[in-house]
Each structure stands twice: as structure tokens, then as C-alpha cells.
Chain A
Amino acid sequence: MKTHRLFVWLVLVTVLALVVAACAAPAAPQAPASGGAEEAAAPEGGESGEVLELNIYNWSTYIAPETIPRFEERYGVKVNYDIFDSNEELLAKLQGGNPGYDLIVPSDYMVEIMINLGMLEELDHENIPNIANLDPTFQNPRYDPGLKYCVPYQWGTMGIGYNIEATGGEIDSWWSFWDEKYAGRIAWLDDPRAVMGVALLLLGYDINTTDPDQINEAKELLLEQKPLVAAFAPDTGQILLDEGEVDLTMEWSGDIFQVMEENPAIRYSIPKEGSIVWTDNMCIPKGAPHKELAEKFINYILEPEVGAELSNYIRYATPNAAALPLINEEDRNNPGIYPPPEVMERLQFVVDVGEATVLYDDAWTEIKSAQ
């Protein structure tokens, strides 16, 4: 009787001890040994001989190959680069507490949400003098006035990717998505706010409206169009277009440019009714172990050469005015990547709508469930 109880306790204690030991291990580098050096965050990695580590959490393949090795060399540090695949997952992950990241790269609306939830560290602009290199358009964004918490990394637009051989002409309106001619040849991006935003634009409303009637009207408009839809693509619209599975797709600019390089029939347009513009931003999450080093990294990215190299590789637009002259001429003169001012005026940011999120969510569930 007693022996088996004892045994059970033994097992429980052993398993617990093992788990504790195993979990504690990865945190070790941040713990006491290097504690002092961290605070100092000296450029050369502190005198303790311990190599400082910068933990970056970014999108996959969203950086130039040379960017990180050069930073590591210059500051004598080591960089860990982990990957997330959507803003929402990034948020959910960090809501459980910062697992040790120093730098994250959320999009505009997510920056706003994170600020509101108190998840971001304020930036010390003294450590980031290169902030002056930014284009004035990006110095004072709606989601973070005065860039207190974030610095724009890359930006781009959302528009229509289409196959000109199939459409027989240029597409310049979102209404094409309601054209019976393309029945079964249309893909939306599987993103409630983006798709609802287009419907709201077409109805002449603000894409960030919180008015239930306007949201309802947008829903009706999309329900009407649903029979024509081939797919709601999870950011794979450019592939469907390239494969010839659809003729029209709603997609982010850079995705379409990637397939345009290989498929001459593909075009990208920002519809005349307007569209969505986005930025991705470098932020420091609360609880970052190496805040100063992260600020150094932000400053480094803002150097003209580094910023240009980055954008030349990943083919999105740079918010860095000083880097612009170093951008490939081909990209710099591409109105799809750097739209002319009159197009810029028609672009809007999606911002968080707070309580109204539930309204959008209900509408979206109804649209997706409609037969």
C-alpha cells in the first residue's frame, strides 16, 4: 500500500523536476551570468566575454541576406531570427508574455492594438538618430503619432492582380469583382477587414467605420457577389493567378510583383476607388532583454545603404527617404511599388475598430457560411 504511494510521488516529483530543468535551460543565457553586461549593452558585447544576443521575431525571408551577418560583425553580437506568420499570431503569442524577443515587426493596425494593450516599450529616439532619414509621410503615422513606439520597416499597397490575357484589357476598378464575366475566376484575400474594407470603399463609406448599418450594407454587397468567388485565398492569390486558376485576385503588391517577374501576363493595379496601404514596423516588446541593442539594430536598418539593400532584395517599398536614391531604378520608377502622389491620396490604413470588431466578425461568418 505505502510503497506504491511513495512510488507515485517519486514519479511526480521526478517528472516535475525534469520539466523545470528542461524549461529553465533555454533561459540560462539571459540569467545572472550576463545580467550586468546586458544593462550596459556595450557595442562590443560587454567585457565579460559573453556574446550578446539579439532576438528578432520577423516574417520569413523578410530581410536581405547580408543584413544580419554585417550587423553581427560590426557589433560583435549574435542574432537569433525566429519567424511568425501573421500579425494575429504574433499578438496571441506575446499576450502570453514576451518569451525573450527584443525586436518584432508587426503591421500598422497591430502596432496600434499593441500600444493600447501596453505591450510595447517606448523607443529612446536618442539611440536612433537615423530616424531623421525617414520620409516625412512616415514620420507621423495615424497608428503611432510621433513614432513613440515603432519605426516603419517596409510598406506597400493592396490591389488587384490580374491576368491581362484573360481580361483582355486593363482592370482599374473593384467593381470587376462583381462582373459576371469572371464568375468562378475570382479570388479574395481571406482577410475579413480587407475584403469588407473594399465593399465599404465601393459604397462610399470609411473603411474603418463602426456604424452597424454601413457594415451590414457591405455584407449584403459581398453576399451578392459570393456566387462568383472561386476562393478566399490565405495570401496565396498570386499563386492561383500564376497557375491560371483565377483571372482576378486581391493581393498585396509585393506578392504580385514576384510572379510578374516570371509570368509576363500578370499585371497589378491600384483601383480607382482607392485601396489599402500598409506598413510593417520595428517595435520593441515589453520585457525585451536587450532593448538598447534592439535600438541599435533599428538605427542600423535606417542607414541608407542597409535600407536600400533590404528593399532591393525583398522588393517592397522603403520608407527611408535617404535610401531612395540607392534603390534599383526599375523599382523606383515602378508606380506599383512607389505610387504617384495622386494615387497615394486614395490609399487608407486599416485601423483597429475596438468593440466593432465583433460586428465585422459576425458579418464575415455570415458571408463565409452563405451557400
Chain B
Amino acid sequence: MALEATTVERPLATQPPPAAGTRGAAARWLLGLNALLVYTFLYAPILILVILSFNASRNVSVWRGFTLDWYRSLLAGAGTLGLYGDTGTVAQDTAELARNFQASGIVLALRNSLIVSFSATAISTVFGTMIALALHRYRFRFKGTFQTLLALPVVIPDITMGISLLVFFSLLFRLLENLLGLRMALGFATIIIGHVAFNVSYVAIVVRARLAGMDRTLEEAAQDLGANEWQTFRRVTLPLIMPGVLGGALLAFTLSLDDFVITFFTAGVGSSTLPLFVYGMIRFTVTPAINAVSTLMLLASMVLVLLSLAIQRRG
């Protein structure tokens, strides 16, 4: 990597270079077109999904008129927040009662999903970033082997990882019960442990890609100026690797939120997540209620994005 020596760290916000003639303009136009097409590609199914959340049919995929019932029932379900807790809502007919009843299950599952994904993302982002830093900064014996190991959670089929964790936990629990008399069970903790076990790899790989080719002159300069390890990390290293950390965290969150197989095998009593609920519906009918809950999540994330945008612009 001869070119590496020429790489200099630069402030994060670079201005775009001046236009390089008509060819440059054409290239920029093509890039813009590609971006437009990709976003269309990404959002076309999402638009369909949102439209279908207003579908009057019980079946998710064939349009049979407009309704707000799925949202209404989700709100009613959210009011109870407890699977079959006090459904003291004003349910007029059986159809409405049935929808509310289903919705309370969905809302509970959504809550569980958010608990799991936020915790798993937080832990795996911290640990994954630390591993990436260790790999970037140090040479050590079996480094190649360790890096291979790091890729394995990406390789392993979900079902294999799910079952291996299940067997592992049941052996571990039995062992602890016999040795220490501790009674343990599957639940949120085991789901989060499983999610972190595969997410750490994703985060580490993304952060490592960001770190690659970065030299440590800035960090060393900071330390020479008297900053301690933590200050150097907080003020120099972290801002430099932030895009990688953010990317890794986003991937981890996405994977965690949508994981079905590993969650199924590590879930215990009362910890069913949203994907479990949805897959469970396949045997009968996946109703537009799932579209409605997905739409609400989209809406919430869009609002958060706009909010952060507003804050950043003011700042």
C-alpha cells in the first residue's frame, strides 16, 4: 500500500471540488440519476406496504377498499398493553373486538422487539467498535484466525445458530442449577445475548473498513499534547470513526429488529417479539395490521430523522 503514506487526515466536512468540465457534470448527473433510481427502488415496495395498511380486506395483499380500522384497533390495543389484559375498550361487534384483541398482541410484541433491538444494538456497537480498534492497532498471534472467527457469525445459517444457542443455554442452565442451585430460564436476556453474538461481527467489520488505512498521527499528536487515553478517544478517534460506528449500529439495529429464527429459539415465556408474531400469522392470514404497525414505525423514524435534521441545522 504505497499510496497509504500520501493519505492525510482531513477535516470531516470537505467541500465538493469545483466542476471539472462537462464530463464531470455528466458524471455528476449520472450519479444523481443512479441515486434517484435506487431510492425509488427502495421505496416503491414501502409505498405499497403503506397503502395496504389502509386495506379493508383481512388479507394483506388484495385491495378491497379503504379503512382506518387497523390503525384504530392498534390504538385500542396500545391502550391495554398487556396481551389479554383489561380490554375495557368500546368494542361494538365481534369483528372489532377481534381486531383489538389481535392488536394488543401486536403492540406487546412491538414493545418486546424494541427492548431487544435497542439493548442488543447498544452492547454490540460498543464491543464491536472495541474489537475493530484492537484489530486495527495491534498485531498479535492468531490474528488471521481471529479475523476468520469474526466472520463466522455472518456465515452460520440462522437455524444452526438458533439451535446451537438453544442447546447451549439448556446445558448451561442445567449445569448452573446443579452446581449452584440457580434457576434460570430463556427470556429477554438470552435473546439479547444471541443478537449481540452475531451483531458484534457486523459492527466490527464495518468499523474496521472505516479504520483501514487510517494512521495514528492525530491520536499521537493529541497524546503528546497531554490528552489522556479517554480524552484522545472521545475527541479524536471517535469523531474520525463515527461514520463507521453509525453504519455498524444501524445494521445491527436492523438485523436485530427483523430477526426471526434466532429470536424464536432463544425466547422464553412472555418475550415474543414482532417477527415471531408475524411469522405465527402465516398459518392463518397475515393481516394489514402488520402493515399498519410497520407504517407507524416508518413514520416514527422519519419524524426522528427530521427532528435531528432540525437540531443539526440550528446547531
B61 within 8 A of A: yes
Q: Which of B261-298 contact A (CB under 8 A)?
A: 264-265, 267-272, 276-277, 279-285
Q: Which of B37-51 contact A (CB under 8 A)?
A: none
Given contacts A24-B182, A93-B265, A97-B173, contact A68 B190 (CB under 8 A): no
Please measure, in the bound complex, the distance between the C-alpha atom of A100 and the C-alpha atom of B60, giving whole angstroms: 33
- How far does the Cβ of B263 sit from chain A's closest Cβ, in whole Å? 11
Identity of the chain A residue whose Cβ is nearest the Cβ of B159 in the assembled complex: A92
Please measure, in the bound complex, the distance between the C-alpha atom of A119 and the C-alpha atom of B297, giving whole angstroms: 40
Please measure, in the bound complex, the distance between the C-alpha atom of A356 and the C-alpha atom of B265, giving whole angstroms: 27
- How far does the Cβ of B15 sit from chain A's closest Cβ, in whole Å? 44
B96-104, B147-155, B215-223, B233-241: which lies at the interface: B96-104
**Residues of chain B within 8 A of A69, CB atoms compared:** 84, 87
Q: Is the CB of B264 within 8 A of A93?
A: yes
- How far does the Cβ of A362 sit from chain B's closest Cβ, in whole Å? 19
**Residues of chain A within 8 A of B163, CB atoms compared:** 92, 96
Type the 1/0 row for B163-195, where 1 means its CB is closer than 8 Å to any CB of A.
100110110011010000011111111101100
Q: Is the CB of A242 within 8 A of B269?
A: no
Q: Is the CB of A243 within 8 A of B61?
A: yes
Please measure, in the bound complex, the distance between the C-alpha atom of A97 and the C-alpha atom of B265, giving whole angstroms: 11
Q: Is the CB of B280 within 8 A of A60?
A: yes
**Residues of chain B within 8 A of A252, CB atoms compared:** 283
A342 within 8 A of B: no
B232 within 8 A of A: no
Given contacts A93-B166, A97-B173, A259-B59, contact A61 B184 (CB under 8 A): no
Q: Is the CB of B184 within 8 A of A20?
A: yes
Given contacts A65-B98, A69-B87, contact A26 B270 (CB under 8 A): yes
Given contacts A69-B87, A80-B269, A100-B268, contact A23 B190 (CB under 8 A): yes
**Number of interface residues, chain B, beta carbon within 8 A:** 53
Q: Is the CB of A80 within 8 A of B61?
A: no
- How far does the Cβ of A63 sit from chain B's closest Cβ, in whole Å? 9
Q: Which of B94-115 contact A (CB under 8 A)?
A: 94, 97-98, 100-102, 105
Q: Is the CB of A24 within 8 A of B269?
A: no
Q: Is the CB of A26 within 8 A of B185?
A: yes
Q: Which of B120-150 contact A (CB under 8 A)?
A: none
- Having A93-B264, A99-B186, one finds 16 other A-B pairs with CB under 8 Å, namely A19-B189, A24-B182, A24-B183, A25-B189, A26-B187, A26-B269, A26-B271, A27-B183, A83-B277, A96-B167, A235-B282, A255-B284, A258-B58, A262-B64, A313-B98, A314-B284
